[in-house]
């Protein structure tokens, strides 16, 4: 039963919400616009705040549903089973079978599975709070979604270790952190080169063209 649950979790994670929304909302292939990424951030940039917010919520829900619903239906409540469902959902988003295994960066879906895990495993709630706060503080200060996600991906395994969680959860957090770094390699290169685009929210504001140098 666990293998069926893992497969279904992967399929749920694989639903390319950004791609689907781009097709139905504007009749475009989101992969051909903006950064080309199949994720909520690119939808924000290309289609606007409302579509981006909808895709963000849906991507988070994919992670929540994959873990909460499937663990209940298939009675998969051991720590290792919950971790397997979580990893499958994130892998589905990152490497979706519906788009030739090219997907998003997994941040929103990772948040969804972590929220679900926090419901099932009370002990990781503090680690989740630390991770989310790291993302928020970095984003407010810099307006870089990518940098915020990278720092949150590094903060999560550290928070899991510091809160003395199950060894399997430590392993999972390291894998999640590795996923974040791997999926953000192009962003890291652009950050180093000073070419990474910001989202004009927080302390960063777009300057008028006449003020740019």
Q: Note the pLDDT tens digit of each residue in 76-87.
A: 999 999 999 999
Together in a domain, 22 and 91: yes
Together in a domain, 69 and 87: yes
Q: Is position 9 within any domain? A: yes
Is residue 88 exposed (0-12), middle (13-18) or buried (19+ Cβ within 10 Å)?
Answer: buried
Together in a domain, 7 and 108: yes
Dihedral angle, C-alpha 155, 177, 174, 103, nearest 10 ° = 150
Q: d(Cα 10, Cα 88) in Å, to the nearest integer?
A: 5
Q: Is position 86 within any domain? A: yes
Cite the beta strand spans of the chain per DSSP E: none
Segment 101-114, tens digit of pLDDT? 999 999 999 999 99
Q: What is the pLDDT of residue 199?
A: 77
Together in a domain, 114 and 134: no
Q: Is position 84 within any domain? A: yes
Domain total in the chain: 2
Residue 179 has pLDDT above 60, yes or no: yes
Together in a domain, 25 and 106: yes
Q: Is position 189 within any domain? A: yes
Q: What is the pLDDT of residue 200?
A: 67
Question: Domain ends where: 100, 120, 140?
Answer: 120
48-74: average pLDDT: 95
Q: Which of 74, 18, 17, 78 has the alpha carbon at shortest distance from 46?
A: 18
Q: d(Cα 160, Cα 155) in Å, to the nearest integer?
A: 9
Segment 12-30, tens digit of pLDDT? 999 999 999 999 988 999 9
Q: Is position 74 within any domain? A: yes
Q: d(Cα 31, Cα 44) in Å, to the nearest integer?
A: 13
Together in a domain, 108 and 136: no
Better-predicted residue by pLDDT, 29 or 207: 29
Q: What Å distances lie between residue 146 and 1, 46, 183, CA to CA? A: 37, 16, 10
Report whether 86 contacts 8 (CB < 8 A). no
* Average pLDDT taken over every residue of the chain: 92
Segment 158-169, tens digit of pLDDT? 999 999 999 999
Together in a domain, 1 and 74: yes
Together in a domain, 27 and 115: yes
Q: Is position 213 within any domain? A: no
Question: Which structural domain, as residue segments, surrounds residue 43?
Answer: 1-120
Together in a domain, 108 and 202: no
The pTM of this model reads 0.90
Residue 211 has pLDDT above 90, yes or no: no
Question: Domain ends where: 120, 155, 174?
Answer: 120
Q: What is the pLDDT of residue 1?
A: 85
Q: Which of 69, 145, 70, 57 has the alpha carbon at shortest distance from 109?
A: 57
Together in a domain, 180 and 203: yes
Q: Is position 2 within any domain? A: yes
Together in a domain, 92 and 147: no
Question: Domain ends where: 90, 120, 150?
Answer: 120
Better-predicted residue by pLDDT, 199 or 162: 162
Q: d(Cα 20, Cα 172) in Å, to the nearest integer?
A: 29
**Percent of the chain with pLDDT strictly greater than 70:** 93
Residue 212 has pLDDT above 80, yes or no: no
Together in a domain, 11 and 60: yes
Q: Is position 212 within any domain? A: no
């Amino acid at each position: 039963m666990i293998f069926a649950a893992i497969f279904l979790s992967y399929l749920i994670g694989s639903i390319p919400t950004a791609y689907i929304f781009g097709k139905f909302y504007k009749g475009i292939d989101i992969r051909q616009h903006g950064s080309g990424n199949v994720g909520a951030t690119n939808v924000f940039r290309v289609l606007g705040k409302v579509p981006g917010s909808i895709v963000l919520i849906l991507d988070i829900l994919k992670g929540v549903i994959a873990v909460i619903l499937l663990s209940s239906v298939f009675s998969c409540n051991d720590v290792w089973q919950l971790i397997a469902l979580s990893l499958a959902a994130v892998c589905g988003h990152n490497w979706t079978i519906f788009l030739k295994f090219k997907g998003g960066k997994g941040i929103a879906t990772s948040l969804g599975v972590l929220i679900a895990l926090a419901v099932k495993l009370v002990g990781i709630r503090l680690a989740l709070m630390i991770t989310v706060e790291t993302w928020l503080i970095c984003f407010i200060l810099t307006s870089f979604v990518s940098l915020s996600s990278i720092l949150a991906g590094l903060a999560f395994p550290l928070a899991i270790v510091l809160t003395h969680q199950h060894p399997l959860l430590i392993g999972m957090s390291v894998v999640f952190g590795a996923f974040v770094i791997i999926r953000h390699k192009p962003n890291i290169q652009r950050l180093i080169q000073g070419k990474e685009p910001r989202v004009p929210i927080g302390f960063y504001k777009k300057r008028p063209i006449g003020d740019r140098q």
